[in-house]
Structure 1
Amino acid sequence: MTIKARRRIFIAACLLPGLILFCLFKIYPTLQVFQKSFYVWTGIGDKPKFVGFKNFIDMFHDDVFILALKNTGFLMLIVPVLTLFIALLNASILTRTKLKERNLYRTVFFFPSILSFVVIAILWSFIYHPTIGFLNSGLEFLGLGDYAFAWLGDQRTVLWALAVTLIWQAAGYYMVMYMAGIDGISADLYEAASIDGATSVKQFFYITIPMLWEIIRVTIIFSINGVLSISFVIVSIMTAGGPDRHSEVVMTYLYSQAFANSNFGYAMAIGVFVFIVSLILALISNKLTERGAE
């Protein structure tokens, strides 16, 4: 046996345990979700009953699911746009202005992204608390008590309140990514633009954004998918879907169908739908943002 063949066998032997575990705990359960989405199954020992596409048809006749879908769509539209804009603006300011406190600000802004989602949800629940919350207390202190009310208990503000929490959690993470990208842009480009009379705003739109475009494309997909996963924890702890289901999102509704109603087949159909929609959104986002830095 040649040395090259032995090397291949050694590499395969090293990769095989990890591959087996990946297939066993990742690929196989995923395939099971797709299969069980065509069944009615309570998950408590009874035999699954095949119903075809009934679970998928029932989804679009389910008023709560439709409301949860609308709420999720709102968060997926608002949160990534504002998060990435704030992150890009902060990154540009901290990088281009050469602040002495740059490392301090970077640490402070990045800190929320390393906190547990549970901690963030509890923290912001206290901030929004109608009687002892920091937000209402601050408004009272400023003489704006008329604007103080139950932010998480009002249908008009609950989604915006959750959006602020999600933006606060993620903006610093993407800011650090953008700062690393801006540091890689040649200073000669900015110097030449300054000599030609370009203002800082024009340099931001005509140099910074185009040169960071590949990073921006990646962060758009990350942020859209991040809303789906993070919103489950945030909503579950902060509002539990209230008031009157007006903060219910798809993932919390999926969880309640599976573990509260023992309707696992229907929950898996929702999971398959979310997977397909996420894949389509990622492909659309990738296609729409496909362009070169030049």
Structure 2
Amino acid sequence: MSEKKQKNLFIFFCLLPATLLILIFMVYPTVNVFFMSFFKWGGYTADKQFTGFNNFKQLIQDALFFKSFQNTILLIVIVTIVTLTLSLIFASILTREKFRGVTFFRVIFYIPNILSIVVIAAIFSAIYDPTSGLLNSLLKVFRLENFQQLWLGNQQIVIYSISFALIWQAIGYYMVMYMAAMASIPESLYEASALEGASPFKQFFEITLPLTWSTIRTTLTFFVISTINLSFLLVKAMTNGGPDGSTEVFLSYMYKQAYTNSSYGYGMAIGVVVFLFSFALSAILNNITKRPIYEF
């Protein structure tokens, strides 16, 4: 056997395990979701009834589905904007500014990311407790009793309570990513701009942002995927979609339809919409955030 064939055979066997795992645990389940969305099936019996696009027609008339869609969009927008802004600010401060305790603050900011989402849900459920929770207690201490709320029981504000927990969990992770990108920017660029009279504020927008833009573009896709996934876990652990469906999100509603209401086919139709929505939104964000690549 020639050396070239041996090399190709070696590469083939190296890639084979990973390829099989992707096919079995990613490609096949995804295809199966699309396939099952055309059936009426409870999920636990062998009785499957092909219904074509009826599940998708039902979606169009489902007010709770549109409520979950609205909540998901709201969370993506709020979490993305706030987390992106705060992560960039904190990363810039901890990278550019020299003060004691920088390493300590880096560790503190990253701790929420290593906690289980169930632990985070428990922490914020305790904070939002209307009688003994930290938030209402602090408002009482500062004589702001008028601002006390049922943070997880008020339909008008509960989705924002969920979004705050998502932001708190995500800031440290993205901050570390931005810090890694900022650390690669030559210090000479900042020194030259400072000699020309550029303020730290202008340096941030003229040097830091353009030279970390490729990392920011990548994380925008992460924001979409992680918000959709983590919002389901937080909602499930904190409110279970309540009160009165006001915190239902894509995946929590899909889960209820597929595994609680025994409407597996309908749940898979929701899964198809989630998949297409995530893919389309990621593609749109990737397209509209294209910028020239700056080299240094």
TM-score range, shorter chain: over 0.9
- SS, match of residue 150 in structure 1: coil
Match of 1:99 in 2: 99
Match of 1:236 in 2: 236
Amino-acid identity (%) = 45
Report the Cα distance in structure 1 between the residues aligned to 2:191 and 2:21, rounded to whole angstroms: 53
Map of 2:24 onto structure 1 = 24
Aligned equivalents of 2:215, 2:21: Cα separation in 1: 32
Alpha-carbon deviation of 1:5? 1.3
What is the correspondence of 1:163-174 to structure 2 with a 5 Å cutoff? 163-174=163-174
Matches within 5 A, 1:264-283: 264-283=264-283
**1:109–1:172 CA contact under 8 A, matched in 2:** yes
Query: What code does the residue aligned with 1:30 have?
Result: T
**Is the 2:37–2:55 contact (alpha carbons within 8 Å) kept by the matching residues of 1?**
yes
C-alpha contact (below 8 Å) 1:212/1:293 kept by paired residues = no
Partner of 1:199: 199
SS at match of 2:27: helix
Following superposition, the deviation at residue 22 of structure 1 comes to 2.7
Contact 2:71 2:247 in 1 (8 A): yes
- CA distance in 2 between counterparts of 1:13 and 1:199 reads 55
After TM superposition, the structure 1 stretch with the greater mean CA deviation from structure 2, 243-252 or 92-101, is 92-101
Given that residues 174 and 219 in structure 2 are in contact (C-alpha distance below 8 angstroms), is that contact kept between their aligned partners in structure 1?
Answer: yes
> Shift in Å at residue 194 of structure 1?
1.0
Aligned to 1:44: 44
Q: State the partner residue of 1:34.
A: 34
User: Which one-letter code corresponds to 2:34 in the other structure?
Assistant: F
Quick one: distance in 1 between partners of 2:225 and 2:123? 23
Deviation at 1:103, TM superposition (A): 0.8
Q: Distance in 2 between matches of 1:196 and 1:4?
A: 57
CA distance in 2, matches of 1:289, 1:218: 10
Shift in Å at residue 293 of structure 1?
4.2
TM-score normalised according to structure 2 size: 0.96
C-alpha separation in 2, matches of 1:12 and 1:200: 52
Asked if structure 1 preserves the Cα contact closer than 8 Å seen for 2:87 and 2:175, the reply is yes
Matching residue of 1:77: 77
The match for 2:117 is: 117
Contact 1:38–1:50 (8 Å) recurs in 2: yes
What is the Cα-based RMSD across aligned positions, in Å? 1.2
Query: Are the structure 2 counterparts of residues 17 and 209 from structure 1 closer, same or farther at C-alpha, using a change threshold of 3 Å?
Result: closer
Structure 1 gaps of 5+ residues are none
Matching residue of 1:224: 224
Task: Give aligned pairs, total.
Answer: 294
Asked if structure 2 preserves the Cα contact closer than 8 Å seen for 1:55 and 1:266, the reply is: yes
Partner of 1:153 in structure 2?
Answer: 153
Corresponding residue SS for 2:130: coil
Deviation digits for residues 116-142 of structure 1, max 9, x if unmatched? 111111111000010111111111111
- Alignment correspondent of 2:182: 182
